[in-house]
């Protein structure tokens, strides 16, 4: 039976994730504290991994409850620590210096800042899928693949690409349950430039990553998958949206089953 093996929340958009044993599901379908904070420029545009590989060198963690932060360059001693409410300006100044651009940190504790506003629920992938993708690239580890694709929910007890069961042949959300929550799978997630980079260093590689990924994703697409939903094959993980408003908390070990 498919079940949740990992629950990951990314408190700051494009920064490192934090694993949890349980997470509240928000009314919009997102996970509590996921992408609650984001970095923006003076025009309000996101500073994220799509925009600059410098994000990979940034070690910024925020505790959404205590509202404490720690920031520095990845692999170097911590540069600054403080509290968002008391010490917000020193953090903005440090980030502005790091990016050579005026930077502010913004917050939305009701919906977060999801990439897909029409499918703002958690992204889902299976452990078997991550292992398969790692095997496509010699020397790549499952943990590295996990860092490249940054899913919220990882499921175990299934075959590779089982998460492709969670969307249908058209754009209508395909209902399924995780624990007591009713979600709808919408589409296979279109990937950006971020997975082509090493998640720690930001270095592009291996060479031809996206081309090789597309080729092998097409070759290994399960026969039962909704092939017409792939206008291209640089897609991995399933996007979701919430289909009910019943209070729900997801837990490690919760079963996942298609609704009937």
Burial of 2 (0-12, 13-18, 19+ CB in 10 A): buried
Query: Could you read off the pLDDT of 76-87 as tens digits, one per residue?
Result: 987 899 999 999
CA-nearest of 213, 255, 205, 244 to 230 is: 213
**Considering the entire predicted model, what is its pTM?**
0.95
- Of 210, 191, 205, 198, the closest CA to residue 56 belongs to 198
Mean pLDDT to the nearest integer, 144-151: 98
Alpha-carbon gap, residue 200 to 202, rounded angstroms: 6
pLDDT at 159 over 80: yes
Alpha carbon distance 88, 236 (integer Å): 36
The alpha-helical segments, DSSP class H, found in 69-173 are: 88-99, 127-136, 142-149
Taking a C-beta distance cutoff of 8 angstroms, is the pair 209, 198 a contact? no
In this structure, the number of other CB atoms found within 10 A of the CB of residue 46 comes to 16
How many whole angstroms separate alpha carbon 8 and alpha carbon 26?
Answer: 15
Ranking 20-24, 58-62, 89-93, 114-118 by mean pLDDT, the lowest is 114-118
Separation between Cα atoms, residue 174 and residue 183, nearest integer Å: 8
Matching CATH number, 3-31+113-258, of 2.40.33, 3.30.870, 1.20.120, 3.30.70: 2.40.33
pLDDT in tens, 63-107: 999 999 999 999 998 789 999 999 999 999 999 999 999 999 999
Domain edges within the chain: 3-31+113-258, 37-107
pLDDT digits (tens, 9 = 90+) for 178-227: 999 999 999 999 999 999 999 999 999 999 999 999 999 999 999 999 99
pLDDT band (50, 70, 90) for residue 58:
very high
Residues 143-160 have a mean pLDDT of 98
SS3 204: strand
């Amino acid at each position: 039976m498919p079940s949740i093996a990992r629950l990951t929340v990314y408190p700051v958009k494009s920064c490192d994730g934090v694993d949890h044993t349980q997470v509240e599901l928000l009314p919009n379908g997102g996970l509590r504290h996921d992408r609650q904070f984001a970095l923006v420029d003076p025009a309000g545009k996101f500073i994220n991994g799509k925009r600059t590989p410098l994000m990979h060198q940034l070690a910024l963690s925020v505790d959404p409850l205590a509202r404490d932060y720690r920031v520095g360059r990845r692999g170097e001693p911590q540069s600054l620590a403080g509290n968002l409410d008391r010490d917000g300006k020193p953090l903005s100044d440090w980030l502005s210096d790091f990016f050579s651009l005026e930077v502010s940190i913004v917050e939305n504790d009701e919906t977060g800042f999801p990439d897909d506003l029409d499918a703002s629920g958690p992204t889902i992938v299976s452990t078997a899928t991550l292992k398969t993708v790692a095997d496509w690239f010699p020397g790549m580890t499952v943990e590295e693949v996990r860092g490249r694709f940054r899913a919220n929910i990882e499921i175990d007890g299934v075959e590779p690409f089982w998460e492709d069961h969670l969307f249908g042949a058209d754009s209508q959300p395909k209902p399924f349950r995780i624990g007591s929550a009713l979600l709808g799978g919408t589409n296979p997630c279109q990937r950006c430039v971020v997975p082509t980079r090493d998640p720690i260093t930001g270095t592009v590689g291996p060479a031809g990553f996206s081309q090789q990924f597309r080729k092998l994703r097409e070759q290994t697409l399960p026969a039962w998958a909704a092939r017409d939903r792939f206008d291209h094959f640089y897609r991995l993980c399933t996007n979701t949206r919430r289909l009910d408003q019943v209070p729900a908390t997801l837990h490690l070990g919760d079963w996942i089953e298609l609704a009937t």
